[in-house]
Structure 1
Amino acid sequence: MLAGGVGGARFALGLREAARALHGDAADIRIVANVGDDMWLAGVKVCPDLDSLMYALAGVGDTERGWGRAGESERVAAELAAYGVGWPWFTLGDLDLGTHLARSSMLRDGASLTEATARLSARWELGARLLPVTNDEVPTHVVTGEGVLHFEEWWVRTRAELPAHRFVQHGLERSRISHAARDAIATADVLLIAPSNPVVSIGTILGIPGVRDALETAPAPIVGVAPLIAGRALRGMAATCLQVIGVEADAAAVAAHYGARRAGGLLDGWLLAEEDAGSIGGLAELGIVAEARPLLLTPGGPAQQVAEDALALAERVRAARPAPPPAA
C-alpha cells in the first residue's frame, strides 16, 4: 500500500483485518509511506505520516485528535516554549517526543530511515511493515505570496488558508526510492493506493525517482481508493491541495489525474463512493475499472469492508487481464 498519514492509517487498520481474514498469520502487508511532511524540529526528526501509521496500527494513537499518542502530556513542550524553541503551534507530546528522540539517536548513529523505522516498529505487533518511500530528505514546502513555508506550517499554523501557488519537495531530484520500498512494489500480489492526499502524500511518493518505474513494471494490479466523497475530502484538506494544482475536487478527477496504467498512468482500478457512481462510465472510457461502494473509514467493520472491496476489485482487474502468450 502507498499511503500518507491519517487517512492512510485508517485504511491500514481495515486492510490488516481484511488480510488476516483472507490469509491469517500469513498475511504480509507492506506500507510504503510518504516522508514529505518530515522535518527536524527542536533537534529531533519528526515523521508525521510514519508515526500516524505506526501509532494507529499499534493501537496507541489518539483517535479523537487523529494524530499523536493517546494519553499524552505536554510538559516538555511547555518547557521548550518557555525557552523559545520549536513551533508553539506544533506541539510535540511527551510520549511522541520519546519516539522522535529515539529515531534521531538511531539516525545520528548511522541507521537509515528504513532501519530506524523498523527498530521503532518492533516495539509493537503492527501486523504490517512500515517502509519510508525513500531514505533521503525531501521536505515539502509551500510557495505562497508571503514567502515559502514548510508544509506543516502552512497546514497547521495557517490551516491552509494562506493561498498557495505550488508545492515543492526540496531535494527530490537527488532522492531515490529505498531498496525496501522497491522490493515491496516488485513482489506485491496487490498494490493499493490509500485514500490519502493525492497531491502532498501520494503525489510526493510518486515523485521520488524510481517509484513510477517500479509501479510500471510491477506485475500486481494497482487499485486506488478515492479520497473524496461527493467532492468532500475524507480527512484533511485534499480539496485545497487539488485546487493548487488545478485538479477538480472530485473522485473521478483524481482518478483521471493519476491516469490509467495502460495509458502510461497509475491505475488499473478505482474504488469510489456510491455517491460518485455516475462517474464509472467515464472512467471506463479512460481505461480504469471503477466500482462504487460505501467508503466511510470508521473503525472496525466499515474500514475492513472498504479494504475487502478494494482487494476484490484488484482480483476483478487481474481476472480481466489477457492471458500471457504460451511459452515457446
Structure 2
Amino acid sequence: MITFLSGGTGTPKLLRGFQEILDEREISVIVNTAEDMWLTGNHLSPDVDTVIYLFAGLLDTAKWWGIRDDTYITHDFLQKLGIEEFIAVGDRDRAVHAARGEMLRSGMTLTASTRVLCRRLGLRATVLPMTDAEVTTYVRTADAQMHFQEYWVKHRGSVEISGVERVCRDAPEATPEVLSAIEESDAVIIGPSNPVTSVSPILECAGVREALKKQRVIAISPFIGDTPVSGPAAALMRAFGLEPTSAGTFRLYEDFLDIFVQDVRDPVEIDGTLRLDTLMINRGKSLHLAKNLMALLAR
C-alpha cells in the first residue's frame, strides 16, 4: 500500500497517474481539512471532496474542484433570495456538503462521515481526513484575520498577507486511521501540494511527523524557481517564514524525508535531490511521473 498526503490540486493530479498503475485498494490518501468551512448550513471539505470525486470518476479536472457538468440552480436562486455565497457550489456538490453536514450534526466524526460518503460513491481507495478536530487556516492581512477560502476564492489571492495561522480549540491529533495508514504503508508520497496550507496542517497533527520518520517518504516540490506550479504558494510561503522555492519546501520536510524530487526545469540547486518532469499538464504526464516514482520505490 502507498499512502499519500494531499491537498486539493497538486497531489490529486499525481493520484490520477497512480490510478492507472495500482489497484485503488492499495491507495490511501490522508487529506488536509484546514480549509473546511460551513457555508449556508452545509459543510465544505474541499480537499477531501476533490480526492473523493477523483476516485469516484466525478471530478471536474478542468478546474480540479467540484463535480463535472454540475449545475448551479441552487446557488443562483440563493443569490436571488439575497444569500451571497462567495464560493459557487454546484448542485450535486452541494448535496455532498449537505449530507456531510447532516452526519456531523448527528454526532458522526469527519472520518466516519467521509467513510460513508466514500462507500456510497463506490470508492475502493481509502480517503482519510487528517484529524477529526476542527482546524482552520487563516491569513493575516493589514486589517484583519481572513479564512483561507475567502483569501483564495473571494479575493483570488490578491490581498497582501503578513502571516498564516492555524486556529483550533485544542492541538489537533491525527486519527488512529491516519497513523495506521502511514505505519502500514510500503511508502508515503507527499505530492506537489501547497506546503503551507495543504501539507503543513497534516504535519502539525500530533503523531504524524513521528510516524513519517519511521517510513520511507518521497516528496515532490511544487516550485520551479520561485514560481509555484499552481495556486498562491509563493505568497503563503513568505508569510509562513519560508523561502518560496524548492529549498524552502525541502527544509519544511527534511527531518523525515528520504527522497526529494524537483522538476527538471527548476534552477534551484539542492544537494542529493532527484530530478523528474513534475509538470502534470495532462493524464499522460501524471502517469509518467507515477511510473517513475514506482521505479524509485522498487529499488
Gap regions ≥5 residues in structure 1:
260-264, 285-289, 317-328
For the residues of structure 2 that align with 1:315 and 1:223, how far apart are their CA atoms? 13
Query: C-alpha displacement at 1:102, in angstroms?
Result: 0.8
- Tell me the number of residue pairs that the alignment of Structure 1 and Structure 2 aligns: 296
> Which residue is equivalent to 2:281?
298
Structure 2 CA distance for aligned equivalents of residues 299 and 173 of structure 1? 41
Aligned CA distance change for structure 1 residues 230 and 42 (closer, same or farther; 3 Å):
same
1:300 positional shift: 2.5
Is 1:271–1:310's contact at 8 Å kept on the other side of the alignment?
no
Q: Match of 2:38, as an amino acid?
A: W
8 Å contact from structure 1 (residues 173, 209) kept in 2: no
Residue by residue, what CA displacement relative to the aligned partner does 1:57-76 show, whole Å, maximum 9, x if unpaired? Answer: 22211122221111111111
Match of 1:194 in 2: 191
**Partner AA of 1:251 in structure 2:** S
Structure 1 distance, partners of 2:298, 2:216, is 8
1:121 aligns with 2:115: no
Query: Deviation of residue 56 (structure 1)?
Result: 1.8
How far is 1:159 from its partner?
A: 1.4
The one of 185, 210, 227 equivalent to 1:232 is 227
**Which deviates further from its counterpart, 36-45 or 75-84?**
75-84
Q: How many angstroms does 1:278 deviate by?
A: 6.3
SS at match of 1:200: helix
1:79 pairs with one of 74, 77, 80: 77
SS in 2 for 1:301: helix
Whole-Å separation in 2 of the counterparts to 1:83 and 1:168: 34
Amino acid at match of 2:59: G
Partner of 2:260: 270
* CA distance in structure 2 between the aligned counterparts of 1:13 and 1:126, rounded to whole angstroms: 14
Residues 235-272 of structure 1 show CA distances to partners (whole Å, capped at 9, x for unaligned) of: 2121121121232232233112322xxxxx13110111
- Give the letter aligned to residue 7 of structure 1: G
1:140 matched to 2:137? The reply is yes
What does residue 56 of structure 1 align with?
A: 54
Q: Say whether residues 1:42 and 2:32 are aligned partners.
A: no
Change (3 A) 1:304 1:277: farther
Output the amino acid matched with 2:271: L
Q: Give the structure 1 partner of residue 208 of structure 2.
A: 211
Q: Give the TM-score taking structure 2 as reference length.
A: 0.93
Q: Is the 8 A contact 1:135 1:178 kept in 2?
A: yes
Q: Which runs of 4+ in 1 moved over 6 A?
A: none
Q: What is the match of residue 2 of structure 1?
A: 5
Task: Please tell me the residue identity of whatever aligns with 2:276.
Answer: R
State the partner residue of 2:173: 176
What's the counterpart of residue 294 of structure 2? 311
Q: 1:66 aligns with which of 56, 64, 67?
A: 64
| 1:36-78 deviations in Å (ceiling 9; x for gaps) | 0000110111000001111122221112222111111111112
SS at match of 2:33: coil
Distance of 2:262 and 2:91 partners within structure 1? 39
Matched, 1:254 2:249: yes
CA offsets 1:60-115 (integer angstroms, 9 cap, x no match)? 1112222111111111112222333352x211111111000111111122221111
User: What letter corresponds to residue 211 of structure 1 in structure 2?
Assistant: V
Percentage of matched positions with identical amino acids:
31
Check whether the contact 1:277–1:291 (CA below 8 A) recurs between aligned residues: no
Asked which structure has the greater RCO (Cα within 8 Å, sep 6+), the reply is: 2
**RMSD over equivalenced CA pairs, Å:** 1.8
Measured in 2, the distance between the counterparts of 1:51 and 1:306 equals 23
Q: Choose from 233, 245, 251 the match for 2:240.
A: 245
Q: Is the 8 A contact 1:42 1:86 kept in 2?
A: no
**Matched letter for residue 239 of structure 2:** V
Distance, in Å, in 2 between the alignment partners of 1:172 and 1:244 is: 23
Taking the aligned partners of 1:278 and 1:39, their CA distance within structure 2 comes to 36
Q: Which amino acid aligns with 1:91?
A: A
Amino acid at match of 1:116: S
Give yes or no for the alignment of 1:18 onto 2:60.
no
- Per-residue deviation, residues 174-226 of structure 1 (Å, max 9, x unmatched): 3211111011011110111111000011011111122112222x3x3100011
Gaps of 5+ in 2: none
